[in-house]
Structure 1
Amino acid sequence: MTSETTSQPTPDQIRRAPKVLLHDHLDGGLRPGTVVDLAREIGYTGLPETDPDKLGVWFREAADSGSLERYLETFAHTCAVMQTREALVRVAAECAEDLAEDGVVYAEVRYAPEQHLERGLSLEEVVEAVNEGFREGERRARANGHRIRVGALLTAMRHAARALEIAELANRYRDTGVAGFDIAGAEAGFPPTRHLDAFEYLKRENNHFTIHAGEAFGLPSIWQALQWCGADRLGHGVRIIDDIQVAEDGTVTLGRLASYVRDKRIPLEMCPTSNLQTAAASSYEDHPIGLLRKLHFRLTVNTDNRLMSGTSMSVEFEHLVKAFGYSLDDMQWFTVNAMKSAFIPFDERLAMINDVIKPGYAELRSEWLFRQTAAETAVTSNSGSTEG
């Protein structure tokens, strides 16, 4: 391979590179200042800090604490201020703006409508407010010279009993901004099979869905999500590594489930920083994404909760570039994987890949090659000079 294709991107190139995000939680990505503003507007006094900078630090430290209680508390605060139409529109619009500013050209952002009903909104009003916010954010992004398309994923909570209702809601709004369905929440004790009626309904309607699986629980969760429920994608899926054995001589053996996931090209929504916080991985260097990339699983890179993890798509890729020496070619591979796996029509995915993603990376590679050539020319010119 040439130095053109193996060069590691700079942080600026990573930020400018077109990126695709499939696993991002709306209530996990608020701006700290927005949380403070909305809390003041509705009289919510439960925030641990009212200074935006200090509040941002608190969210990250609470998520890093290793305490499930403190981690869940972070979402209690964000959901508490997302209970009015105006708040939902603002949060969704800012989400789209922030992602576009970070170079994201396509995103699927998930949220649970049932968690935003405390001040009298209906499920339909929640969905319509978030959709309005995403469209407003897309317009603002265009005005700032960025392009982004955002689709919503409606999430049902695994411990609750509204999955079928939320699935029907997702199907009702599938042509007006909702891209698909998801279930989230604690895996242990709440298997996806509790919501088979929702998944059967979605399959009958030829609709798309992903399932949080294989993050905290392991292989049985992944198996049920695929074989019982028929998930199109796996939210996280990082524990598929438990079905892969690496011998001392480096020989790799895939178990039947891991082979199935790879053979069927089932997309894995990897969230490296979040996985470190939940102890699904001990470090970026030890994250399963390194081996899974070498084995050519259908991998995508995601943020999960940008506020709690103090992350962005650019930050995630920066960590991976540092840990594994990834190049622009690797970034494009992850990005094309994600676009192929998006819940929009095939022709629209193909257009994004051919008209936006590939040209974007080609431009960055050409830019690097130009600078490299210029630098080599300068060195050659200087070495050929003589002193009088």
Structure 2
Amino acid sequence: MTYQETLAYLYNSAPLFQHIGKAAYKEGLENTLALDEYFGHPHKKFRSIHVAGTNGKGSCSHTLAAILQSAGYRVGLYTSPHLVDFRERIRINGIPVSQDFVIDFVEKHRSFFEPLHPSFFELTTAMAFHYFACQQVDVAVIEVGLGGRLDCTNIIHPDLCLITNISFDHVQFLGNTLEKIAGEKAGIIKPSVPIVIGETTPETKSVFQHKAAEVNAPIIFAEEEHLLTDIFQDEDGKYTYQTSSLKDLKGELGGFCQKKNTNTLLSAIHQLEKLNYHISETDIRNGFAHVCELTGLMGRWQKLSEHPTVICDTGHNVGGIQYIVKQLSCQKYKQLRIVIGMVNDKDITGVLAMLPKNAIYYFTQASVQRALPADKVKELAIP
């Protein structure tokens, strides 16, 4: 099989949530546990950090990986979805898994996993854990795919758990209240494993406290530590994060959402230091300043060009869009043009209601079954 043939096999034989939505979701960990046993429990062969949350978990996962890389660790990074190439999902020190490994994984092991009929995410999680074990990473940063409690990444026993925030997304799976969603995310909290919570609401804080107490997990609320005081953009386009402990940090990621993310990350790093991770101030500064270069992160208030200014952002729910709109309100421009596409299981009217009215809109759609047709997005936007 060629690499493209292998990808076609994966996309066509394993249900892919990003393409078809709910039909690809498999509740329960039976397949994950079967795959884990078949590969010899690879997740037990490396240390790990588990990251969940509605928004910000991608930025936090990549930045943690960048900081750990800067500290000299061999770091696995498993995130989803990918933007351009499947191999973005599985990286070691920023380098994507090789095409040959992906091909060999399918060719050598399909006779075992085909009878299981695993989902795409179940299969790629097994691939990632197997790859990290084969490559002998020191630590892997593992991003939850959906929810937490029943997510197939939730077989790991990490050194640290991190939940960025809770807002409404994937309500058809996780529940239609913040308490229910928080309950699913809190499913990653493990006995005696420290858990850092980035943001809370009155509805979610007690959920986390109850779960942590139930399993005797130390719980840290990052927003109560006030480690970050402000964020602003410099003339060179970089961002300065004003912190209480490290003075000014230069960051590569922009947008108001990074204020919350950075505070969460600083709290997480403090916990890792308590767990005997050797991370210097220089490592922290380098990780924040070069996260995209070190890990390949894309799509977070990413400037694609200067003349004209073109910004790309992957925000896709009300919680994410509110930060994009706030950021747009601070930009100077003669004419704002917005290219937007949606999928059919999001709060479409909620997102559209937040977008600025003083823009020219171009409605588009992704080449996946789950995409909402562009003309339908336009119809909802212009009733």
Q: TM-score, normalised by structure 2?
A: 0.31
Task: Say which one has the larger Rg.
Answer: 1
Q: Which has the higher helix share?
A: 1
